[in-house]
Amino acid sequence: MSTNPPSGSQPDKNRFSQLIDDAFTEASKLAGSTLAPTEFYEKFLNTAIQAIGAPAGAVWMRTPQGFLQVACQLNLDKVGLDSKRGGRQCHNEILRQVFQAQPPRPVMIEPQGQVSGLAEPGQVPARNLTEFFTLFAPIVQPDKSAMGLLEIFQEPSHDPRMYPTFLNYSVQMAGYASQYHTFSNTRQVAGLDKVYSQVESFARLIHGTLNPTECAYHIANEGRRLVECDRLCVGVRHGKKSTVEAVSGADVVEKAATHIRRMRALFDAVLAWGDKLVFKGEKDESLPPAVLHALDDYLAESQPKLLIVQPIRDEREKDDKKPARSVLLLESFNPPENVDPILQKLEIVGKHAAPALFNAAEMKSIPLKTIWWPIKKVQDGLGGKARLITGLIVAALVALSIAMVFVPYQLKMDAKGELQPRELHLVYSREPGKLQRLAYKPGDQINPDAIVAEMYSEEIGQKLRQVMNEINVRRARHDTMKSQDTSKFTPSELANHNARLAEDEANIANNELLRDQMIRANNLDPARPGVMFVRAPRLDASKVPADAKLTVLNADNTNELMNRVLRPNEPIQKLGYSEGEWHLHVKVPQRNLGHILKAFTDKANYKTDEKGRKYLDVDMLVTSESDTKYFGRLYEDELAREVVPNRDDHNESEPVSQAFVKIDFSNLPEGRRIPRTLFASGQEVHLRILCGPRPLGYSLFHGVWEWFYEKVVFFF
């Protein structure tokens, strides 16, 4: 069971919106009709269940003995009350508890759900044994006591959030049934059957405008004839103070007149009091002092024999602590002896006037109404809201189409880049080897040609030792042969001996040359065969100062590389001249390369610097500071005309063209230059390369057009 759950979803509401509005309109007509109760309930129930597509429903009314009796039902025998044992008895117990609840309130019971906490439970459980949601809304009397119930069975297949909306709808429909009884009783007492057509015309007239003053004048003038009094005045509260909006028979309300000022003071006092003031020629001393004082002041200006000040509150005014939004003042200088019909007619006028004045006052409080009011006039001129919306949509589409074709907009090509020093070097080993030591840590500054790492290669060490052993063997043999006594040698033996010495000297020289070449080629340590030194590169003196030092830019990779066998294509460290010039290493997707190359062929799209070099402006967004846009330049000679696979990005399969974007030039404002504090090698930057103005539609949706041309036009 649920009471007053939250509202349903907006999309489902929209499906029933028009049907519910039509149901309210029809129920309002039925509530004010002179139909007999049986005929009224039949039409009322049909209207209530058809608007929300309910399968069944019933209206239960209290008999003079105090029991509930069905006044009208539709398909009640098809909801399964008798299909389960005790279903009818459980349903009757639900009716009893809901009807006896104090104060009366709406109730929604889910399929197989039960009621609890409304009234004293009986012997039979108050349980809904059907497969439908059951909605109960009380039909109340003017004293807020229940006189009947509206029951609607709803299918369980709707969005669960729609059932609170169905419950609220049932409550409002039950309110129209309550109005029918109120109006019926009022007509019987006051004889209002003769003026029903006047009430209907009066209601249509006052609800036909949202101008507070115009609405108030309709209420004052038409309401005076309906109530049959001498004067009827209308006041509306704006903020804390009320204003006299209309006086019957007067074309203009003179707000500075004493009569109007005292009437306004009487309105304020009665609204603050919150009750109806009735003066029949004798003052009631029990009235609040503020009301009594304001009444005395007003009677000094006007001497009616019957004066009624009635605050009227709309149902949407939920805060009862605040004064009512509107108030009516009735004056009669020669009233009849029985003033009850006048009071009842004024009550009817007030019930119709309250929502009309509330709507008008809310409309007046809307900001920028001077802008929206002409739109309303245009809507009325076109013939309704649907035509206005259709016209606005068509006009917007035409304006958008014209803008897409004729409004120029900068064509921007997306790319990604990385910040790098212009002097950037990756250090590799010349031969495969195991890394034994890294000489420098990240951030260290080193001299060019400094030893940055030591590596060990068993193969190279073995070759070097072999060469050095051969040198030692040959030198030892050469020294032995040289120390021999050649005085006893024959000439032929001496010649042979000298030839062998010369051959050994030549072999030793060749081996020493090979050793030196191996040491120089692989930066070997002669004292430790197999140990290779990896040196930092030398810098071009024409590009950097003579005392320039390189900085270790990579992170600490000691644990990752140490004691690993590294190949010549695996970088050991990244070194760069960080104090020098930086640029962006950009990868331009091949789908954007054509637009960029085309921009360099049109003088209207590219620019030239003081040296005559062509360039395109570039907007840049650094990932680490994504709320600031910076500027750069893409020079034509810095853009490669070769498209290669993007091997560095495994998520990007499209080939790219390599380019470099200049980010530091003399005439670039400081605020548009990437600050050096953001310079970090590998820092990702998002770029948009400006390729010149094109039609707005093409600049925004060129990708869609190119896909359509490739897949559709080119296909045929």
Q: Whole domain around residue 646: which residue ranges?
A: 581-713
CA quadruple 24, 30, 31, 36: dihedral sign: negative
My answer on whether 462 and 601 are in the same domain is: no
Q: Which structure tokens are listed for 448?
A: 């060019």
CATH label of the domain that carries residue 182:
3.30.450.40
My answer on whether 40 and 149 are in the same domain is: yes
HSE (side-chain half, CA atoms, 13 Å) at 708: 6
Q: Which structure tokens are listed for 224?
A: 């005076």
My answer on whether 642 and 514 are in the same domain is: no
My answer on whether 167 and 156 are in the same domain is: yes
Q: With respect to residue 357, please indicate whether it lies within any of the assigned structural domains.
A: yes
CB 153 within 8 A of CB 169: no
pLDDT at residue 14 tops 80: no
- SS3 string, 620-653, reads EEECCEEEEEEEEEEEEEEEEEEEECCCCCCCCC
Q: With respect to residue 657, please indicate whether it lies within any of the assigned structural domains.
A: yes
Q: Which of 195-199, 229-233, 239-243 comes out lowest in average pLDDT?
A: 195-199
d(CA 550, CA 548): 7
pLDDT at residue 294 tops 80: yes
- Please state the pTM of the whole predicted model: 0.48
d(CA 619, CA 523): 46
Confidence of residue 2 (pLDDT cuts 50, 70, 90): very low
Amino acid at 417: G
pLDDT at residue 460 tops 60: yes
My answer on whether 552 and 607 are in the same domain is: no
pLDDT in tens, 665-674: 777 877 788 8
d(CA 482, CA 497): 9
Q: Which structure tokens are listed for 460?
A: 């190279």
pLDDT in tens, 45-63: 898 888 888 899 999 888 8
My answer on whether 20 and 162 are in the same domain is: yes
Locate tokens 């109120």: which residue? 182
Across the chain, mean pLDDT equals 84
Q: Which of 364, 389, 412 is the last residue of a domain?
A: 364
Find the mean pLDDT for residues 444-464: 85
My answer on whether 379 and 360 are in the same domain is: no
Q: What is the pLDDT of residue 125?
A: 83
Report which of 295, 238, 287 is spatially closest to residue 263, judged by C-alpha positions. Answer: 295
Q: Which structure tokens are listed for 22?
A: 């039509």
CB 6 within 8 A of CB 161: yes
Range picked from 312-326, 497-511, 565-579, 681-695 for highest mean pLDDT: 681-695
CB 683 within 8 A of CB 421: no
Work out the burial of residue 698: count CB atoms within 10 Å of its CB; fewer than 13 is exposed, 13-18 middle, 19 or more buried. middle
My answer on whether 201 and 331 are in the same domain is: yes
- Strand ranges of the sheet holding 573-576, from the earlier edge strand across to the other edge: 424-427, 573-576, 550-552, 445-446
DSSP 90-142: HHHHHHHHHHH-SS---EEE-TT-B--SSS---SS--B--SSSEEEEEEEE-T
The better pLDDT of the pair 383, 352 is held by: 352
My answer on whether 162 and 93 are in the same domain is: yes
Other CB atoms within 10 Å distance of the CB of residue 290:
15
The better pLDDT of the pair 488, 333 is held by: 333
pLDDT in tens, 165-184: 888 888 888 888 888 888 87
My answer on whether 610 and 673 are in the same domain is: yes
31 CB contacts (<8 Å, ≥6 apart)? 176, 177, 179, 180, 183
Q: Which structure tokens are listed for 583?
A: 């640029």
d(CA 716, CA 706): 15
The DSSP output letter for 618 is E
d(CA 471, CA 591): 62
Report which of 239, 237, 201, 236 is spatially closest to residue 221, judged by C-alpha positions. Answer: 201
User: At residue 202, what are phi and psi to the nearest 5 degrees?
Assistant: -60, -45
CA dihedral 73, 76, 78, 83 (to 10 degrees): -160
Q: With respect to residue 589, please indicate whether it lies within any of the assigned structural domains.
A: yes
Confidence of residue 617 (pLDDT cuts 50, 70, 90): very high
Number of H helices, E strands in the chain: 16, 26
Percentage, residues of the chain above pLDDT 90 = 17
Q: With respect to residue 394, please indicate whether it lies within any of the assigned structural domains.
A: yes
My answer on whether 235 and 198 are in the same domain is: yes
Q: Which of 521, 542, 571 is the last residue of a domain?
A: 571
Q: With respect to residue 690, please indicate whether it lies within any of the assigned structural domains.
A: yes
Q: With respect to residue 43, please indicate whether it lies within any of the assigned structural domains.
A: yes
d(CA 246, CA 267): 13
Q: Which of 148-152, 422-426, 587-591 comes out lowest in average pLDDT?
A: 422-426
Find the mean pLDDT for residues 211-232: 89
Q: Which of 142, 160, 190 is the last residue of a domain?
A: 190
CB 365 within 8 A of CB 239: no
My answer on whether 378 and 344 are in the same domain is: no
Q: With respect to residue 1, please indicate whether it lies within any of the assigned structural domains.
A: no
Work out the burial of residue 704: count CB atoms within 10 Å of its CB; fewer than 13 is exposed, 13-18 middle, 19 or more buried. exposed
Q: How many structural domains does the chain have?
A: 5
pLDDT at residue 366 tops 90: no
pLDDT in tens, 85-117: 888 888 888 888 888 888 888 888 888 888 776
d(CA 163, CA 172): 14
Q: Which of 318-322, 549-553, 621-625 comes out lowest in average pLDDT?
A: 318-322
d(CA 652, CA 646): 7
Other CB atoms within 10 Å distance of the CB of residue 122:
12
Q: With respect to residue 414, please indicate whether it lies within any of the assigned structural domains.
A: no
| Residues making up the chain, counted from first to last | 716
Query: In 3-state terms, the chain is what percent helix, strand and coil (to 5)?
Result: 40, 25, 35
